[in-house]
Amino acid sequence: MPSHDRPTLGIGMIGYSFMGMAHSQGWRNASSFFDPALRPELVAIGGRDGAAAGEVARRFGWQHVETDWRALIARDDVDLVDICTPGDTHAEIALAALAAGKHVLCEKPLANTVEEALAMAEAAERARADGIRSMVGFTYRRVPAIAHARKLVRDGRIGEIRHVRAQYLQDWLVDPESPLTWRLQKDRAGSGALGDIGAHIIDLTQFVTGEQLAGVSAITETFVKERPLPGAVHGLRAEVSDGRGQVTVDDAAVFVGRFTGGALATFEATRFATGRKNSIRLEFNGSRGSIAFDFEDMNVLQFFDGATPATEAGFTRVVVTEPEHPYVAAWWPAGHGLGYEHGFTHQAVDLLTAIGEDRDPEPSFADGLAIQRALDAVETSAASGAAWTPIEQPAP
């Protein structure tokens, strides 16, 4: 049972839109269902539009609103800075927060460039010496079925991994009149489908296999090159205005790769998979078995155990809602299932636990840097006509 005598950790979150709301409910629920070593206090939410940030503060229970992110970082009652803003601001905010001695949670991808990600990883490493922790928000690792897949792989249940198949499919840009929001601008988002959702499947495949992507050969495409400029924004929806502008990021990225352990991989990240809203499909084929996952059926893991006699073998539909499965015991009785938002609660709990127990949370900024290098290799390969492009590996 959650206890209420845990020491508190003051949270200051910058950004209040989609991710801001997802993180808000994560912080809110962390000590309601779980009992992490520290209890989060929702001290301040930051956003330039004070009225809009204030509305989110009222809905989720943030105590204060700051319209200047530097003022939020400077607050004595803020111990951890949670960055939920577009990628072009991650590095500046994270570096300032670390310099001020604050723990940092930063949304994915870590940054817009390898240079920024490197500076952030180095600053995080320096701050670590003073007990300051940092983590990058690849939340889908915390979907129970995915965490369970990693455990099966670690326990050797599928043996040596030969094939990795990963797709992240969305369709919210199929309409050519959909507005040119910040996610379609390279200077704000870094890249398109590649960094926004391709980064997730790179992280997930590395997380499940325990290996690193070693190199890639890639193609990318921008199917709709010009779109209406955005007008007024209402919550998560933007109106269109009269002008038009250039799309400066990829709409889709397709690449093959090789993992450090030798597995061959295919990746597809697209916002043009008509009818697919948020489908993350992963499959791992090993020498002893296979695992498959689809976020559209996120409480289920398909497991093929090669040790089963051929007459009885087949993919088993494992419903990942038992108390023995990762994260599940804290929630509902078996069979009741979890959703998209629960990953953000698990993320908050894992981070609070790591800080409270003086351990390094995962994924670290160094992990975020490794993924940034993979994204960069995909772009380099695509620009050169799909030439094989090795990815610089983290120091052992």
The residues of the shown chain that bind ligand SOE, judged by CB under 6 A, are: 18, 170, 196-197, 278
* Structure token digits, residue 345: 């609660």
Nearer to ligand SOE, 293 or 304 (CB): 293
Q: Which is nearer to ligand SOE, 20 or 289 (CB)?
A: 20
CB of 121 to ligand SOE, least distance (A): 20
Which residue, 139 or 217, has its beta carbon nearer to ligand SOE?
A: 139
Least Cβ distance, residue 249 to ligand SOE (angstroms) = 12
Identify the CA nearest to 197 among candidates 121, 94, 124, 273. 273
Nearer to ligand SOE, 348 or 355 (CB): 348
Residue 167: helix, strand or coil by DSSP?
A: strand
For ligand SOE, give the closer residue by CB, 78 or 147.
147
- For the bound state, the minimum distance from the C-beta of residue 385 to ligand SOE, rounded and expressed in Å, comes to 27
Instruction: Evaluate whether 23 touches 142 at the Cβ level (below 8 Å).
Output: no
Strand partners, 215: 258, 390
Q: Which residue has the tokens 């929630």?
A: 331
For ligand SOE, the nearest residue by Cβ is 196
Q: Is 127 helix (H, G, I), strand (E, B) or coil?
A: helix
Q: Give DSSP secondary structure letters for 129-172.
A: TTT--EEEE-GGGGSHHHHHHHHHHHTTTT-SEEEEEEEEE--T
Please, are residues 109 and 193 in contact by the beta-carbon 8 Å criterion? Answer: no
Q: How far apart are CA 89 and CA 85, in angstroms?
A: 7
| Closer CB to ligand SOE, 38 or 197, in the complex | 197
Q: Which residues contact 396 (CB under 8 A, 6 or more apart)?
A: none
CB of 56 to ligand SOE, least distance (A): 16
Q: How far is the CB of 19 from ligand SOE (least distance, A)?
A: 7
**Minimum distance, C-beta of residue 278 to ligand SOE, in the bound complex (Å):** 6
